[in-house]
Structure 1
Amino acid sequence: MGKEVKTNAVRILDRNKINYELLTYECDEFIDGLHTAEKTGAPVEQTYKTLVMQGKSKKYYVFVIPIAEEVDLKAAARSVGEKSVEMIHVKDITAITGYVRGGCSPLGMKKQFPTVIDSTAEAFDQMYVSGGRIGTTVRLNPKDLARVVRAEFADIIAKH
């Protein structure tokens, strides 16, 4: 065992000399972000999930939102200049991103899609996102993440 796992996400962080911490946990199958945070001890409000959506234009977009929240589809569409966006099918995740469900990171997808990080992340020094495979989480500064994936910050979560 003992060999450090280098995912595309981690390689990109290394290449860009970004400070990060890699957290790993035992997991054989998809679990949701809340369970992931529980396993790694990461604060729920600082843990984000990566959603991939397709716009009316057929272009793909990446939205990074807090794990306990839901995306506001209208706000997400507005943030990328689309009339509407919808989630891609689970069966298409790997073909589009190169990642599997539950291991989808905003870093290191097959292509760099336009990315929006929910503005709540700007309040934190550190945020947690998938490290690019199930069982791997990366802790890093939200501004570093935004810089590497050329993301914008916007209000894209549903208001309760």
Structure 2
Amino acid sequence: MAGQGTPATALLAKRKITHQVHSYEHDPRESYGLEAAAALGVEPARVFKTLLAEVDGTLTVGIVPVDTQLDLKALAAAVGGKKARMADVTVAERTTGYVAGGISPLGQRKRLRTVLDTSATTFPTLFCSGGRRGLEIELTGTDLATLTDAKIADIATR
């Protein structure tokens, strides 16, 4: 696929982080995360989605496996907040510089507080959006946490 460069892949190259880029043809009728897992032949628990929420009015990123839901109470608690709600899609796109379904936790336009689900540390590598629908990056959970300055907490509801 030509033109695979995104702010996420540029960040990985700049920081010399070991990773692999995987692309697949996105079907608009499919759920992004589960579609990625099926297309790449990996268990959904290893594919992580990037969600934006407002915790006490501050945008915060939650990164959880695609076969789970973001636990808003747990996300708020992880960053010392009280109340969380999902961010408006338009706000999420404008703030990150990515389109919904392709929001990468890496290379966002603005650095946001980030929380990565604890399950990310249980796999040798995980997959997250590369910044475009149909583009996934495979890297270690430790590298993802380091690059996003993420706090690791149990924020997924299974």
TM-score, with length taken from structure 1? 0.92
Which segment drifts farther, 119-128 or 3-12? 3-12
Question: Is 1:42–1:128's contact at 8 Å kept on the other side of the alignment?
Answer: no
Higher strand share: 2
Equivalent residue runs for 1:130-149 within 5 Å: 130-149=129-148
Secondary structure at the residue paired with 2:142? helix
How far off its partner does 1:32 sit?
A: 2.5
Question: Is 2:34–2:44's contact at 8 Å kept on the other side of the alignment?
Answer: yes
Q: Which runs of 5+ in 1 are unaligned?
A: none
Q: Matches of 2:27 and 2:123 in 1, distance apart?
A: 30
RMSD: 1.4
Equivalent residue runs for 1:89-128 within 5 Å: 89-128=88-127
Question: Is 1:25–1:136's contact at 8 Å kept on the other side of the alignment?
Answer: yes
TM-score, with length taken from structure 2? 0.93
Q: Which runs of 5+ in 2 are unaligned?
A: none
Percent of residue pairs identical: 36
Q: Matches of 1:132 and 1:116 in 2, distance apart?
A: 18
Question: Is 2:53–2:87's contact at 8 Å kept on the other side of the alignment?
Answer: yes
Corresponding letter in the other structure for 1:153: I
Q: Alpha-carbon deviations, 1:45-86, whole Å to 9, x = none?
A: 111100011111x21110100100011111110001111111
What is the total number of aligned residue pairs between the two structures? Answer: 157
